[in-house]
Amino acid sequence: MKHIYVFFLALATITLGCTDVDDEVIAVNIRIQNASSLIFDEVQVGDQAEVYMEIDPDGFSEYQEYETAYQYAYIQITSGEEVYVLQPIDFVGETPLPIGLYTYVLNIDEQGQVLLEFRID
């Protein structure tokens, strides 16, 4: 019987000691992953005041907090002299994202269109 108590005590200690990366998150946080072969000098997401800067191919930005965000957004990417834009029509019927960590994986196709893949981190 003593062994059972020790087992449950050890299990409780291990469980309480584990934390998830998003345990401290109190807002919607989005980062950018550059899935293209270009260097993204700047990435503007929605009307966010702060832009993401200098994201290398296959690189990630830091997370930025958003009051409201969706699975897709207005995106403007500047790479050298080129500017690429993803312009959603509207967000009718879309549900805002709950608090958490998310990644917009961005790529640019051969026609210069911005491709956005949404991921939950």
- DSSP SS3 for 68: coil
In a 13 Å sphere around the CA of 49, the CA atoms on its Cβ side amount to 2
Taking only the tens place, the pLDDT of each residue in 34-68 is 999 999 999 999 989 899 999 999 999 999 999 99
Q: How much is the pLDDT for 14? A: 45
Q: How much is the pLDDT for 12? A: 46
Name the token pair of 87: 């312009």
Q: Does domain 22-120 have CATH number 2.60.40.2890?
A: yes
What is the C-alpha to C-alpha distance for residues 111 and 3, in angstroms, rounded to an integer?
A: 66
Tell me which residue of 44, 83, 46 sits closest to 61, measured CA to CA.
Answer: 44
State the DSSP string of 77-92: EEETTEEEEE-----T
**Span of 37-46, 70-79, 87-96, 105-114 with lowest mean pLDDT:** 87-96
